[in-house]
Protein backbone atom coordinates (compact mmCIF):
# COMPACT_ATOMS: atom_id res chain seq x y z
CA UNK A 1 0.00 0.00 0.00
CA UNK A 2 1.22 3.49 -0.86
CA UNK A 3 2.04 6.23 1.65
CA UNK A 4 0.16 8.72 -0.55
CA UNK A 5 -3.06 10.17 0.83
CA UNK A 6 -6.09 8.17 -0.17
CA UNK A 7 -9.78 8.95 -0.34
CA UNK A 8 -12.81 6.82 0.39
CA UNK A 9 -15.87 6.25 -1.77
CA UNK A 10 -18.84 4.10 -0.81
CA UNK A 11 -21.21 2.50 -3.32
CA UNK A 12 -24.26 0.26 -3.02
CA UNK A 13 -25.33 -1.50 -6.21
CA UNK A 14 -27.17 -4.64 -5.17
CA UNK A 15 -25.30 -7.53 -3.61
CA UNK A 16 -21.87 -6.35 -2.49
CA UNK A 17 -20.30 -9.45 -4.05
CA UNK A 18 -21.43 -8.19 -7.46
CA UNK A 19 -19.56 -4.90 -7.38
CA UNK A 20 -16.63 -5.68 -5.08
CA UNK A 21 -14.49 -7.28 -7.80
CA UNK A 22 -15.40 -4.58 -10.35
CA UNK A 23 -13.86 -1.88 -8.14
CA UNK A 24 -10.98 -4.08 -6.94
CA UNK A 25 -9.63 -4.33 -10.48
CA UNK A 26 -9.42 -0.57 -11.07
CA UNK A 27 -5.97 1.06 -11.19
CA UNK A 28 -5.57 3.33 -8.18
CA UNK A 29 -7.96 1.35 -5.99
CA UNK A 30 -6.01 0.18 -2.98
CA UNK A 31 -8.67 -1.61 -0.97
CA UNK A 32 -12.30 -2.67 -1.33
CA UNK A 33 -14.29 -3.75 1.72
CA UNK A 34 -17.77 -5.24 1.59
CA UNK A 35 -20.10 -4.11 4.34
CA UNK A 36 -23.23 -2.37 5.49
CA UNK A 37 -24.18 1.32 5.63
CA UNK A 38 -27.20 3.56 5.98
CA UNK A 39 -29.15 1.69 8.64
CA UNK A 40 -30.19 2.02 12.24
CA UNK A 41 -28.61 -1.03 13.91
CA UNK A 42 -25.07 -0.86 15.29
CA UNK A 43 -22.71 -3.64 14.16
CA UNK A 44 -25.32 -5.43 12.05
CA UNK A 45 -24.84 -8.99 10.90
CA UNK A 46 -25.50 -10.36 7.44
CA UNK A 47 -28.58 -12.15 8.77
CA UNK A 48 -29.95 -8.89 10.19
CA UNK A 49 -29.26 -6.87 7.03
CA UNK A 50 -30.65 -9.64 4.81
CA UNK A 51 -33.95 -9.42 6.68
CA UNK A 52 -34.42 -5.94 5.23
CA UNK A 53 -35.36 -4.55 8.65
CA UNK A 54 -32.17 -2.69 9.62
CA UNK A 55 -32.25 -0.04 6.88
CA UNK A 56 -28.69 -0.88 5.81
CA UNK A 57 -27.58 -1.32 2.23
CA UNK A 58 -25.04 -3.91 1.18
CA UNK A 59 -22.19 -1.71 -0.05
CA UNK A 60 -18.50 -1.53 -0.82
CA UNK A 61 -16.11 0.95 0.73
CA UNK A 62 -13.41 1.81 -1.80
CA UNK A 63 -10.09 3.28 -0.72
CA UNK A 64 -8.42 4.90 -3.72
CA UNK A 65 -5.50 7.09 -4.74
CA UNK A 66 -7.02 10.22 -6.32
CA UNK A 67 -3.75 10.84 -8.19
CA UNK A 68 -4.42 7.62 -10.16
CA UNK A 69 -8.23 7.37 -10.35
CA UNK A 70 -10.75 10.11 -9.67
CA UNK A 71 -13.98 9.89 -7.72
CA UNK A 72 -15.70 10.96 -10.95
CA UNK A 73 -14.24 7.93 -12.78
CA UNK A 74 -15.31 5.58 -9.98
CA UNK A 75 -18.86 6.96 -10.16
CA UNK A 76 -18.79 6.41 -13.93
CA UNK A 77 -17.84 2.78 -13.34
CA UNK A 78 -20.61 2.47 -10.76
CA UNK A 79 -23.22 3.45 -13.39
CA UNK A 80 -21.96 0.65 -15.65
CA UNK A 81 -21.57 -1.98 -12.90
CA UNK A 82 -25.28 -2.25 -12.04
CA UNK A 83 -28.74 -1.10 -13.14
CA UNK A 84 -29.29 2.25 -11.41
CA UNK A 85 -32.92 2.36 -12.59
CA UNK A 86 -34.11 -0.54 -10.43
CA UNK A 87 -35.62 0.53 -7.12
CA UNK A 88 -34.56 -1.66 -4.20
CA UNK A 89 -33.36 -4.56 -6.30
CA UNK A 90 -30.69 -5.89 -8.62
CA UNK A 91 -31.73 -8.93 -10.57
CA UNK A 92 -33.06 -11.59 -8.21
CA UNK A 93 -31.88 -9.70 -5.10
CA UNK A 94 -34.87 -7.72 -3.81
CA UNK A 95 -35.23 -5.37 -0.83
CA UNK A 96 -33.97 -2.02 0.43
CA UNK A 97 -30.68 -3.71 1.37
CA UNK A 98 -30.01 -4.02 -2.40
CA UNK A 99 -30.77 -0.39 -3.26
CA UNK A 100 -28.64 1.70 -5.56
CA UNK A 101 -26.84 4.38 -3.56
CA UNK A 102 -23.75 6.55 -3.41
CA UNK A 103 -22.75 7.44 0.14
CA UNK A 104 -20.61 10.56 -0.06
CA UNK A 105 -17.72 11.50 2.22
CA UNK A 106 -17.45 15.23 1.44
CA UNK A 107 -19.33 18.15 -0.05
CA UNK A 108 -17.19 17.74 -3.19
CA UNK A 109 -18.19 14.09 -3.57
CA UNK A 110 -21.85 15.00 -3.00
CA UNK A 111 -21.75 17.66 -5.74
CA UNK A 112 -19.85 15.39 -8.13
CA UNK A 113 -22.23 12.47 -7.55
CA UNK A 114 -25.32 14.64 -8.08
CA UNK A 115 -23.90 16.12 -11.29
CA UNK A 116 -22.88 12.68 -12.53
CA UNK A 117 -26.32 11.21 -11.80
CA UNK A 118 -27.98 14.04 -13.72
CA UNK A 119 -25.65 13.59 -16.70
CA UNK A 120 -26.06 9.80 -16.65
CA UNK A 121 -29.84 10.14 -16.50
CA UNK A 122 -29.77 12.42 -19.57
CA UNK A 123 -27.33 10.16 -21.44
CA UNK A 124 -29.97 7.88 -22.92
CA UNK A 125 -28.07 4.76 -21.78
CA UNK A 126 -30.90 3.67 -19.50
CA UNK A 127 -34.48 2.79 -20.45
CA UNK A 128 -35.89 4.31 -17.24
CA UNK A 129 -34.97 7.14 -14.87
CA UNK A 130 -32.13 6.60 -12.42
CA UNK A 131 -33.32 5.99 -8.85
CA UNK A 132 -29.90 5.97 -7.16
CA UNK A 133 -29.94 7.64 -3.77
CA UNK A 134 -27.08 10.05 -3.03
CA UNK A 135 -26.63 10.76 0.63
CA UNK A 136 -23.85 11.57 3.11
CA UNK A 137 -22.05 8.50 4.41
CA UNK A 138 -22.85 7.26 7.87
CA UNK A 139 -21.04 4.55 9.81
CA UNK A 140 -19.77 1.76 7.55
CA UNK A 141 -19.68 -1.69 9.13
CA UNK A 142 -17.40 -4.23 7.42
CA UNK A 143 -19.20 -7.46 6.60
CA UNK A 144 -18.14 -10.78 8.02
CA UNK A 145 -14.80 -12.16 6.77
CA UNK A 146 -16.37 -14.73 4.45
CA UNK A 147 -17.92 -11.88 2.41
CA UNK A 148 -14.56 -10.23 1.72
CA UNK A 149 -12.84 -10.98 -1.60
CA UNK A 150 -15.82 -13.21 -2.32
CA UNK A 151 -15.36 -13.61 -6.07
CA UNK A 152 -11.63 -14.29 -5.79
CA UNK A 153 -12.24 -16.98 -3.19
CA UNK A 154 -15.31 -18.53 -4.82
CA UNK A 155 -14.90 -18.16 -8.61
CA UNK A 156 -16.43 -21.59 -9.24
CA UNK A 157 -19.53 -21.01 -7.10
CA UNK A 158 -22.73 -20.92 -9.18
CA UNK A 159 -23.57 -17.34 -8.13
CA UNK A 160 -20.13 -16.16 -9.20
CA UNK A 161 -20.37 -17.98 -12.53
CA UNK A 162 -23.91 -16.82 -13.36
CA UNK A 163 -23.95 -13.29 -11.95
CA UNK A 164 -20.50 -11.84 -11.27
CA UNK A 165 -18.47 -13.35 -14.10
CA UNK A 166 -20.80 -12.05 -16.89
CA UNK A 167 -20.62 -8.58 -15.33
CA UNK A 168 -16.82 -8.66 -15.36
CA UNK A 169 -16.87 -9.86 -18.95
CA UNK A 170 -19.29 -7.09 -19.99
CA UNK A 171 -17.00 -4.48 -18.41
CA UNK A 172 -13.87 -5.95 -20.03
CA UNK A 173 -12.38 -6.95 -16.68
CA UNK A 174 -10.42 -10.05 -15.69
CA UNK A 175 -12.70 -13.00 -15.07
SS (H, E, C) 93-139: EECHHHCEEEEECCHHHHHHHHHHHHHHHHCCCCCCCCCCEEEECCC
Instruction: Give catalytic status of residue 18 as yes or no.
Output: no
Model confidence at 167, pLDDT cuts 50, 70, 90, reads very high
Model confidence at 91, pLDDT cuts 50, 70, 90, reads confident
Average pLDDT over residues 165-170: 95
pLDDT of residue 3: 62
Total-model pTM: 0.95
pLDDT of residue 1: 47
Average pLDDT over residues 33-62: 97
Residue 141 has pLDDT above 90, yes or no: yes
**What domains lie within the chain, and their CATH numbers?**
7-170 (3.30.1060.10)
Residue 2 has pLDDT above 60, yes or no: no
**Sign of the C-alpha dihedral, residues 54, 152, 134, 79?**
negative
Q: Which of 15, 18, 32, 163 is catalytic?
A: 15
Amino acid sequence: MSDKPTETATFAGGCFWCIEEVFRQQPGVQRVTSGYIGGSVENPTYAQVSSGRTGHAEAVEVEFDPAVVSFHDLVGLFWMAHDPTQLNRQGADVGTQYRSAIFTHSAEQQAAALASREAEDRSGRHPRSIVTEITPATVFYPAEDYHQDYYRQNRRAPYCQMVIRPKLRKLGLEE
